[in-house]
Amino acid sequence: MAGYSGLRIFSEGLRGNSGWRPAWRKPEPKREYDVIVVGGGGHGLATAFYLAEVHGITNVAVLEKGPIGLGNTGRNTTIVRSNYLLPQNHHFYEHSLKLWEGLEQSLNYNVMMSQRGVINVFHNDAQRNAAIRRGNAMRLAGIDAVLLDGAGVKAMCPLLDISNGRFPVMGGLLQPRGGTARHDAVAWGFAHAADARGVDILEHCEVTGMIVEGGAIRGVRTTRGEIRAPKVGLAVAGSTSLLTEMAGFRVPIESHLLQAFVSEGLKPMIDCVVTFGAGHFYISQSDKGGLVFGGGLDGYPSYGQRGTLREAEHVYAAGVSMIPALGRLRGLRSWAGIMDMSPDGSPFICRTPVRGLYMTAGWCYGGFKATPGSGWCHAWTIARDEPHALNAAFTLDRFREGRMIDERGNGPFHWMH
């Protein structure tokens, strides 16, 4: 498979771009692989890439029921950061952010990584204290964090109304290395790089059943026939509980709706990512000029990939409170994804009760930034049949043992995280 380079683009330009080949092959399924990864979103493709790249395991298939990257990977608002309070989370997400920082070179693909800074604004003393605590925890772990006052926030995002009568902005916690990446390109880049290392990416190949014998996984049944493997990894986000049900066990995951919105294209007006602290709203601007924004969950479990007007209204109202200029904005599109919500808001990258069956799931609405880190740790766990230190806490049995990783202190409610 040919690589991409400036020289290649130049030479293809000279011969009418006639030499480009598809970024990945469309192979027929083999009867047997060393590892099957179910789910061709970012996490599944990253798992396959790191299995090949780090562990030398290349006889791998990624099974995707549709085309790759059309699940949450292609539906999210593209924010990448590692500004977490709890050590289990910030060490993992920082590892992921470091992988992001070198991802374009590792994949030989432009994922449009843009470290433009992420600011969480706060509006009162309690929020300020929480931001200081989180920033200090990050800095103690070697992660960048800067406390801004109101003027500092205004300097970075001049359209913000910091003297809003109801929700004045006191300041913000900035992570300068946070930012955005192009979501589709992340799926395509991992697919391209995994394929180049020998991985078979099997699109339109839905898993319809699990072959479990004597408590161990032996393979899967699919719409393209039975495929055998001694190890299977699940990376199916909001469909996780459906797949584990096929394997005969239940997981503490609820599938909820989360919406995203994009506006008409505008001249540059916001060159960082900023989140509102007095309602569910966050915003950034894409390279095409559209404002990309979102809020919280719609609040009830669903597999629909479209949202409700109630949450849309809240998002627009919170947006106008923070940036009054948005009042004249024309929305272009909105959609929703199926979030795999865990009870404490933290993920699972672990073995399961079925031997040889592994999973990465429970990413809630924060899994895009986790994509390389999740794939890296999932691949490690599959290859060695044991977790890496970075994902050792992300187990299914942490609730039974009282070791919740409740980043936001919301308690054991899926819809609150």
Ligand X SMILES: Cc1cc2nc3c(=O)[nH]c(=O)nc-3n(C[C@H](O)[C@H](O)[C@H](O)COP(=O)(O)OP(=O)(O)OC[C@H]3O[C@@H](n4cnc5c(N)ncnc54)[C@H](O)[C@@H]3O)c2cc1C
Residues of this chain that interact with ligand X (CB under 6 A) are 38-44, 63-66, 70-73, 75-79, 206-207, 235-237, 239, 243, 258-260, 294, 337, 339, 363, 365-369
Give SS3 for 318.
helix
What span, in angstroms and rounded, lies between the C-alpha atoms of 38 and 65? 9
Distance in Å, CB of 76 to ligand X, minimum = 3
Which C-beta is closer to ligand X: that of 162 or that of 297? 297
Distance in Å, CB of 313 to ligand X, minimum = 16
Which C-beta is closer to ligand X: that of 170 or that of 344? 344
Distance in Å, CB of 129 to ligand X, minimum = 25
What span, in angstroms and rounded, lies between the C-alpha atoms of 235 and 36? 11
Contacts of 14 (CB under 8 A, 6+ apart): none
Distance in Å, CB of 234 to ligand X, minimum = 9
Distance in Å, CB of 168 to ligand X, minimum = 26
Which C-beta is closer to ligand X: that of 255 or that of 321? 255
> At 128, which amino acid appears?
R
Which C-beta is closer to ligand X: that of 128 or that of 239? 239
Q: Are 234 and 43 in contact (CB under 8 A)?
A: no
Which C-beta is closer to ligand X: that of 35 or that of 243? 243
Distance in Å, CB of 165 to ligand X, minimum = 29
Beta strand segments in 271-393, E: 273-275, 282-285, 290-301, 331-341, 348-351, 357-361
Distance in Å, CB of 233 to ligand X, minimum = 11
Which C-beta is closer to ligand X: that of 32 or that of 203? 203
- What are the Cα distances from residue 49, in Å, to 29, 70, 98, 376, 393? 18, 18, 17, 8, 23
Distance in Å, CB of 282 to ligand X, minimum = 8
Which C-beta is closer to ligand X: that of 259 or that of 381? 259
What span, in angstroms and rounded, lies between the C-alpha atoms of 76 and 143? 24
> At 258, which amino acid appears?
L
What span, in angstroms and rounded, lies between the C-alpha atoms of 7 and 9? 5
Contacts of 330 (CB under 8 A, 6+ apart): 263, 264
- Residue-wise DSSP of 25-73: --PPPPSB-SEEEE--SHHHHHHHHHHHHHH----EEEE-SSSTT-SGG
Distance in Å, CB of 189 to ligand X, minimum = 13
Which C-beta is closer to ligand X: that of 20 or that of 303? 303
Q: Are 142 and 148 in contact (CB under 8 A)?
A: no
Q: Which long-range contacts (CB under 8 A, 24 or more apart) does 11-14 make?
A: none
- What are the Cα distances from residue 60, in Å, to 5, 221, 230, 379? 27, 16, 11, 11
In terms of DSSP bridges, do strands 118-122 and 273-275 run parallel, antiparallel, or are they unpaired? parallel
> At 21, which amino acid appears?
R
Task: Name 259's bridge partners.
Answer: 336
What span, in angstroms and rounded, lies between the C-alpha atoms of 324 and 160? 8
What span, in angstroms and rounded, lies between the C-alpha atoms of 41 and 203? 11
Which C-beta is closer to ligand X: that of 172 or that of 178? 178
Which C-beta is closer to ligand X: that of 312 or that of 404? 312
Which C-beta is closer to ligand X: that of 153 or that of 220? 220
Distance in Å, CB of 376 to ligand X, minimum = 14
Distance in Å, CB of 72 to ligand X, minimum = 4
